[in-house]
Amino acid sequence: MQKLNWRRIVLKVGSALIAPDQDGCRSRYLLTIAQFIVRCRARGIEVILVSSGSVAAGSHLFPSDIPRSVVMKKAMAAAGQTEMMAMWDRFFDFPSAQLLLTHGDLRDRERYESIRETVFTLLEHGVLPIINENDAVTTDDLKVGDNDNLSAMVAAAADADALMIFSDVDGLYDKNPNLHDDAVLLPEIKSIDESIYAMAGCATSAVGTGGMKTKIEAAEKATSHGIATYIINGFEEETFNRLLAGENPGSVFLPYEKPMQEAVHWMTHTANEQGEVVVDGSFDESLEGEDGCIRGDEIMEVHGEFAIGDTILVRSEDGTRLAKATANYSSCLLSFIADNEQSEFSEKMQDSIGPVISEKDIALLEKS
């Protein structure tokens, strides 16, 4: 038996595998995936499952002639989630646990840490975490929107070694294989750039969300955390044997050789900005300086509403995206400081609270 060097993996299972006929869950494909989970655990590999399919599983519980509005999909998700969880649970003789998350949870550092703690505790006690987006409560502002990106955020949070996205296609092709007979499979992707995104088309099944674009986004998030990302055909039984034999049965995106630090990764790929500040030209110099910080007199403009601890974008006056940072001040107080940078109040405030942005709370972005 070949030794696999995975300590912890995240598996993402798409809706087409869960409810292929769109009339409730089917065990047809899930049994093989469940067996794969059991075999991984038997080899000492910790598994976290990100399962789609609540909407597809719940749709048959509502009249078919009602339009699939956003609110109907939320209702379908709420109803289908129990059916989907029950289906998974049937396959295992160990306990599983349901975690329903939104982007609002993951981008809040305190809740993010709390989710991590819960996941690690479940794993430590042999419980299988099964995660989905909490579709029933999400709004446009709060949602991740697709489980490919959610699974990458989960993989980063859980510090996984590999993310495996099980879908209805063999991997990433140079164009959508369902629309082009001459599409060619890419077994290994060393880096992700615009040319890779250009290959991605939309979902062609009735139940998928995001198609290949969101899978590439997920791979970008995960590989920059040092997590190898696979896109694999979950319909094929042989896929799972090949994975356990240490082979690549689909497409693999190789992890960055120098992954981002955890906090920098979270600010860049999980937390999105709640507002932004425009800084003057001394930004690089100030950060590299002895104190390594930005003070109020370097802030030219403040946009949006944010609170202490929120993630903000730092821009230069010509619009260049310089960094993401944790706000040490609320937008309201920062606007006051920026407008009155020379006032005694502003000076005293910064002397007691600290700099507007400090080096330890900042993630520099590649200038484009």
Ligand X SMILES: N[C@@H](CCC(=O)OP(=O)(O)O)C(=O)O
Binding residue (CB under 6 A) for ligand X from 83, 105, 133, 170:
133
User: Per CB under 6 A, does 275 bind ligand X?
Assistant: no
- Grouping H, G, I as helix, E, B as strand and the rest as coil, residue 101 is strand
- Which CB, 214 or 311, lies closer to ligand ADP? 214
User: Per CB under 6 A, does 361 bind ligand X?
Assistant: no
The token pair at 201 is 């088309």
Q: Do residues 186 and 172 make contact, with C-beta atoms less than 8 angstroms apart?
A: yes
Beta bridge partners of 277: 302, 314
The CA distance from 198 to 176, in Å, is: 11
User: Per CB under 6 A, does 155 bind ligand ADP?
Assistant: no
- Grouping H, G, I as helix, E, B as strand and the rest as coil, residue 326 is strand
How far CA 307 is from CA of 108, 192, 298, in Å, comes to: 11, 34, 20
The CA distance from 179 to 94, in Å, is: 41
Is 296 marked as binding a ligand? no
Query: Long-range pairs for 108-113 at CB < 8 Å and ≥24 separation?
Result: 109/266, 109/271, 109/309, 109/326, 110/309, 112/157, 112/266, 112/270
Is 210 marked as binding a ligand? yes
User: Per CB under 6 A, does 176 bind ligand ADP?
Assistant: yes
132 binds, among ligand ADP, ligand X, none (CB under 5 to 8 A by kind): ligand X
Q: Residue 4 carries which DSSP code? A: P
255 binds, among ligand ADP, ligand X, none (CB under 5 to 8 A by kind): none
- Give, as ranges, the residues between 209 and 228 that touch ligand X (CB under 6 A): 209-210
User: Per CB under 6 A, does 14 bind ligand ADP?
Assistant: yes
Q: Do residues 315 and 276 make contact, with C-beta atoms less than 8 angstroms apart?
A: yes
Q: Do residues 9 and 161 make contact, with C-beta atoms less than 8 angstroms apart?
A: yes
> Of 231, 238, 229, whose CA–CA distance to 170 is shortest?
231
User: Per CB under 6 A, does 270 bind ligand X?
Assistant: no
Size of the site for ligand ADP (CB under 6 A): 23
In the bound complex, what is the minimum distance in angstroms from residue 209's beta carbon to ligand X?
Answer: 4
User: Per CB under 6 A, does 20 bind ligand X?
Assistant: no
Binding residue (CB under 6 A) for ligand X from 20, 53, 250, 275:
53
Binding residue (CB under 6 A) for ligand ADP from 167, 239, 268, 311:
167
State the binding string over 140-179 for ligand X (x if CB under 6 A, else -): ------xx--------------------------------
The token pair at 130 is 């099964």
Is 215 marked as binding a ligand? yes
In the bound complex, what is the minimum distance in angstroms from residue 103's beta carbon to ligand X?
Answer: 12
Q: Which residues bind ligand X (CB under 6 A)?
A: 14-15, 52-56, 77, 132-133, 135, 146-147, 207-210
Annotated binding site for ATP: 12, 167-168, 209-215
Annotated binding site for substrate: 52, 135, 147
